[in-house]
Amino acid sequence: MTDSTVRNPMIPVSEGLSGPMAASEPRSAPRSWRGFLPTAQLHEYGLVFALAVITLFFEYTTGGVLFQPLNLTYLVLQNSYVVVMALGMLLVIVAGHIDLSIGSVVAFVGALAALLMVRFGVDPLTATVLCLVVGAAIGGLQGYFVAYLGIPSFIVTLAGMLVFRGLTQALLQGASVGPFPEVFQALSKGFLANFAGPWTAVLIALGLTTSLVGLNWRRRQVRVRNGGPADSPAAFLARNGVTTIVILAFAYQMSDYRGLPNVLLVMFALVMLYQFVTTRTTIGRRIYALGGNVKAARLSGIKTERLTFLTFANMGALAGLAGLILVARLNTANSKGGVGFELDAIAACFIGGASAAGGIGKVSGVVIGAFIIGIMNNGMSMMGIGSDWQLVIKGVVLLAAVCLDVYNKNNRA
């Protein structure tokens, strides 16, 4: 990354309902569409537009099946662990590294959970905590090699991918272990109690959107008072209005089946947590500074080694959680679990706007990128496209996203 693209990590990042704005945007950002939007926001809306186009395309080609309540529920269950992993991968990529081992860590932690709960009778809560600790320890171990020994993350995590896949096979001895206790299966298969009948999901979504719109309006007022870049009133109403309608429509469709899955609530809580960490905390801003210019970050007093270690430990913990979600959904653990998951997580980050050079990336973009991947997987499967061509198409989309990132970076330089 060139010096002209490195942003100041100590400037808080503004955010809206669709995600934080780029911190490198100047305070007097030029406006397009006759003052309707700051020019820098056009990239964000382009990602949302791409998601809408892909969604409508598969809704049409599948004969309306994509938006059916059962299929929407399936999409959430299928993509929940991708979103969880992508949140951790975002911090790793923003810090200027990569983690290729998370698919194997998912399988290893899932296998460990199966042995603890099914074979040794450990209660689900204790087993869950132990598995998360093991996941964090695995990530921390790899982070130690990267941060303190200076070994490139690509090499360390490639080795980890092989090691933990092999350990998974050693633990399971080629067998599938299950079923899991019903209370543990509720993590992925359970649904929130419908205290208001079929309208429970809609009422929860209405309360959520009301809170978010109010929070966004308050932040917009603060930016206006400070002379910072802010949406025009028309843009604010349009953006938040469309988002509110989409959320309510999604909740209405979900309520027509069984309501909101438990894993959706877990995923939402994690998204909100990491949105807060990346935009409103010192450690979040330091991670962006680390990826933007590691030498400048070190000279400014940031303990870069410790920060790198923590990002990998966090990635390991989230990979462990994804492994638990996966085996709870499948109700069995096997040595093939998690194959290719690291590619989906990395693709979600890059499609969502994260820079391969580090220092740039947003939680909102990662979530949209994950659902673009998920909708493509689901839609292509329903269209009868073979797994071979699905890989080709996803590879082309990923390459196009990285090319767009390079193009935008060169224009900013």
Question: DSSP assignment of 47-100, as one string?
Answer: HHHHHHHHHHHHHHHTTT-TTSHHHHHHHHHHHHHHHHHHHHHHHHHHTT----
What was the pLDDT predicted at 374?
87
Q: Which two tokens stand for residue 1?
A: 């990354």
Sign of CA dihedral 135, 141, 147, 153: negative
Report how far residue 367's alpha carbon sits from residue 14's, in angstroms, rounded to the nearest whole number. 18
Strands 19-20 and 31-32: unpaired
* CB crowding 154-189: b at 16 or more within 10 Å, else e: eebbeebbebbbebbbebbeeeebeebeeebbbbbb
pLDDT in tens, the chain (413 residues): 444 344 444 444 334 333 443 343 334 444 444 444 444 455 566 777 788 888 888 888 888 888 888 888 888 888 888 899 999 999 999 999 999 999 999 999 999 999 999 989 999 999 999 999 999 999 999 999 999 999 999 999 999 999 999 999 999 988 888 899 999 999 888 888 777 777 888 888 888 888 888 888 888 888 888 887 777 788 788 878 888 888 888 888 888 787 888 898 899 899 999 999 998 899 999 999 999 888 898 988 889 999 999 999 999 999 999 999 999 999 999 988 888 889 889 989 988 888 888 888 889 889 888 888 888 888 888 888 888 888 888 888 888 877 776 776 666 55
Report how far residue 180's alpha carbon sits from residue 178's, in angstroms, rounded to the nearest whole number. 5
Instruction: For residue 179, say if its preceding peptide bond is cis, omega within 30 degrees of 0.
Output: yes
CA atoms within 13 A on the CB side of 390: 17
Say how many Å lie between the first and final Cα of the chain, rounded. Answer: 9
Between helices 262-280 and 69-94, what is the axis angle to 10°? Answer: 30
Report how far residue 68's alpha carbon sits from residue 191's, in angstroms, rounded to the nearest whole number. 17
The pTM of the whole model exceeds 0.85? no
Helix (H) or strand (E) holding 16: strand 15-16
Phi (first) and psi of residue 398, to 5 degrees = -60, -45
30: alpha, beta or left? (left if phi > 0; alpha if psi -120 to 50): beta
3-class SS of residue 301: coil
Q: What is the largest CA-CA distance in the chain?
A: 66
Are residues 68 and 60 in contact, defined by beta-carbon separation less than 8 angstroms?
A: no
Q: Which two tokens stand for residue 195?
A: 């205290």
Helices (H), 173-232: 182-189, 200-225
Query: What residue ranges do the domains of the chain occupy?
Result: 11-190+261-267+311-412
Are residues 363 and 149 in contact, defined by beta-carbon separation less than 8 angstroms?
A: no
Report how far residue 252's alpha carbon sits from residue 202's, in angstroms, rounded to the nearest whole number. 6
Closest CA to 405 of 366, 352, 364: 352
230: alpha, beta or left? (left if phi > 0; alpha if psi -120 to 50): beta
